[in-house]
């Protein structure tokens, strides 16, 4: 059932030319240089240390690596990270979405 | 983080988390919509964050679940500052006292100004204002609104046409406008306009009455120029004649002066010490090694107006002059 609805949503998005993050509840990452990073649509913090921040997301995890990371602000939908950001990796779990 | 001043108003604390799982704690806090900010690790590996005071108390059940404790690192914001102030009673009292004094003094009337340039003396206006309770160091809340004040003041000052009372901050401005009364004119009875001197009329304008002479008429002293009687023989009306008559006026002067007169004068200083002159006009001179100087001849005296030494010597010298003279009666 989930698979069908997801397929339907993706099809609608391509047909109607809608941005995928709106329809599919995917995380949206905005990074300003290596200084600031905003992640919208996350599903909670999995791990946090000054060197890495792992965020849960639909169908996987996202890892932000860097140095002296500070979560400036955290909400139910949004995380705003500051510090020396060195990398952003996506770790899809199991099947990739879609 | 958002709206730091709002957080400062409500008060916020920097908190260190001791024990427990920081990730679980963070997720629980976000799930309960508790806003945390500046979440970082201290050098010894403890999670530190900022949280507002009301949210800090909401964190308690989460901490219990997580099996962790908090330690407050620092307190910021208005509530903590107020608490600190409450310990310094005199200072707090001073602050409150200042605000109260400012408020109380601002409700006083500090100055009463009188404007409008009225002929009514200031003292009288001030006295009337005093009677109505408008005076310096009066409580402004004891005064009625400016409309009633101006009405009451107008009752005290019937001479003024309009009185405005305006309250501007701590000063009251009373504007008094005088009523303009008509110019007082002297009473006049019916009359003719009569020539003052002999003249030749050059211009006549009768504003009231009937002109009796025309331009270029020669009038004598005492002639009626503008008659004050209107109408014919049967029906006539005496009015105050009024007008403007201009004419040429001449004056004759008869000046008599004696042919000879004695004048006291200082002897003229002898030029270069060679000449000494006498009052009679005779000239004596001694020439010592210089050319002889001619003695000035007396001026021949003939009839007419001959002037010598600035005075007219002849008798009956006529000095006639035409002059304009304006005659105006109103």
Phi, psi of B124 (to 5 degrees): -65, -45
Q: What is the DSSP letter of B191?
A: B
Bridge partners of B174?
A: B114, B165
Top-level CATH class of B111-178? alpha beta
Q: B38 at the A interface (CB within 8 A)?
A: yes
| Ranges of H-type helices in B74-198 | 78-87, 89-106, 122-131, 146-156
Contact B3/A at CB under 8 A: no
Best A72, A76, A82 member to test B by mutation, with max B CBs in 10 Å, is A72
Report the pLDDT averaged over residues B48-54.
Answer: 91
The domain segmentation of chain B, as residue ranges, is: 4-81, 111-178, 189-259+314-330
DSSP letter, residue A96: P
CA B212, CA B216: separation in Å to the nearest integer? 12
Domains of chain A (ranges; CATH) run 26-92 (2.60.40.2000)
Q: Is B27 part of the contact surface with chain A (CB cutoff 8 Å)?
A: yes
Say if the Cβ atoms of A76 and B29 lie within 8 Å: no
Give the closest of A44, A50, A70 to B30, CB-based. Answer: A44
Q: Please check whether residue A79 is in contact with residue A55, taking contact to mean a CB–CB distance below 8 angstroms.
A: yes
Residue B321 CB neighbours (<10 A): 8
pLDDT digits (tens, 9 = 90+) for B268-303: 877 665 554 444 445 454 545 545 545 555 555 544
User: Measured between beta carbons, which residues in chain A are less than 8 angstroms from residue B30?
Assistant: 44-45, 74-76
Contact criterion met (CB below 8 Å) for B145 and B125: no
Tell me, which fold does domain B4-81 have in CATH?
A: Alpha-Beta Plaits (3.30.70)
ipTM here = 0.72
Q: State which H helix or E strand residue A13 sits in.
A: helix A2-16
Residues of B in Cβ contact (< 8 Å) with A74: 26, 29-30, 35-37, 39
Per DSSP, B179 falls in state P
Q: Does A72 touch chain B (CB under 8 A)?
A: yes
Of B108, B16, B95, which is closest to residue B63 (Cα–Cα)?
B16
Q: What is the pLDDT along chain A (98 residues), one digit of tens a residue?
A: 667 887 888 888 788 887 777 777 778 899 998 899 999 888 888 888 888 999 988 878 899 999 989 998 888 888 999 999 999 999 887 654 44
Q: How far apart are CA B194 and CA B92, in angstroms?
A: 93
Q: Is any Cβ of chain B less than 8 angstroms from the Cβ of A90?
A: no
For B146-171, write each residue's pLDDT tens digit.
Answer: 889 889 888 888 888 888 999 888 89
Can you tell me the mean pLDDT for B105-114? Answer: 91
For the purposes of burial, counting CB atoms within 10 Å of the CB of B241, is it exposed (0-12), middle (13-18) or buried (19 or more)? Answer: buried
Q: CATH topology of B4-81 equal to that of B111-178? A: no
Taking the Cβ of residue B29 and every Cβ of chain A, the question of whether any pair is shorter than 8 Å is answered with yes
């Amino acid at each position: 059932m989930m698979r069908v609805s997801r397929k339907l949503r993706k099809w609608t998005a391509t047909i109607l030319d809608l941005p995928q993050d709106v329809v599919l509840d995917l995380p949206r990452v905005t990074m300003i240089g290596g200084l600031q990073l905003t992640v919208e649509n996350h599903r909670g913090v999995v791990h946090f240390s000054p060197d890495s921040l792992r965020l849960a997301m639909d169908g996987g995890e996202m890892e932000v690596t860097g140095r002296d990371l500070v979560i400036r602000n955290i909400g139910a939908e949004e995380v705003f990270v500051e510090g020396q950001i060195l990398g952003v990796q996506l770790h899809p779990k199991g099947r990739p979405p879609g | 983080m958002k709206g730091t001043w709002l957080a400062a108003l409500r008060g916020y604390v920097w908190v260190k988390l001791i024990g427990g799982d920081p990730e679980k704690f963070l997720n629980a806090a976000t799930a309960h919509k508790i806003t945390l900010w500046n979440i970082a690790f201290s050098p010894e590996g403890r999670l530190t964050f900022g949280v507002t005071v009301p949210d800090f108390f909401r964190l308690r059940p989460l901490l219990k679940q997580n099996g962790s404790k908090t330690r407050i690192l620092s307190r910021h914001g208005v509530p903590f500052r107020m608490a600190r102030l409450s310990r310094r009673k005199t200072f707090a009292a001073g602050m409150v006292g200042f605000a109260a004094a400012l408020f109380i003094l601002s409700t006083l009337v500090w100055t009463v100004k009188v404007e409008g340039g009225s002929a009514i003396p200031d003292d009288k206006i001030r006295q009337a204002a005093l009677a109505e309770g408008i005076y310096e160091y009066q409580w402004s809340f004891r005064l009625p609104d400016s409309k009633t004040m101006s009405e009451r003041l107008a009752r005290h000052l019937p001479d003024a046409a309009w009185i405005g009372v305006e309250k501007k901050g701590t000063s009251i401005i009373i504007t008094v406008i005088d009523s303009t009364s008509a110019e007082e004119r002297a009473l006049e009875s019916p009359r003719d306009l009569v020539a003052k001197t002999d003249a030749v009329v050059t211009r006549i304008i009768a504003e009231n009455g009937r002109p009796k002479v025309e331009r270029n008429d020669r009038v004598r002293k005492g002639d009626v120029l503008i008659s004050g009687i209107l109408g014919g023989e049967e029906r006539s009306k005496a009015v105050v004649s009024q007008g403007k008559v201009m004419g040429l006026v001449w004056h004759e002067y008869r000046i008599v002066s004696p042919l000879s007169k004695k004048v006291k004068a200082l002897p003229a200083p002898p030029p270069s010490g060679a000449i000494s002159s006498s009052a009679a006009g005779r000239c004596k001179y001694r020439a010592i090694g210089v050319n002889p100087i001619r003695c000035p001849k007396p001026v021949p005296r003939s009839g007419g107006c001959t002037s010598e030494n600035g005075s007219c010597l002849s008798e009956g010298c006529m000095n006639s002059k035409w002059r304009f003279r304006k005659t105006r009666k109103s």
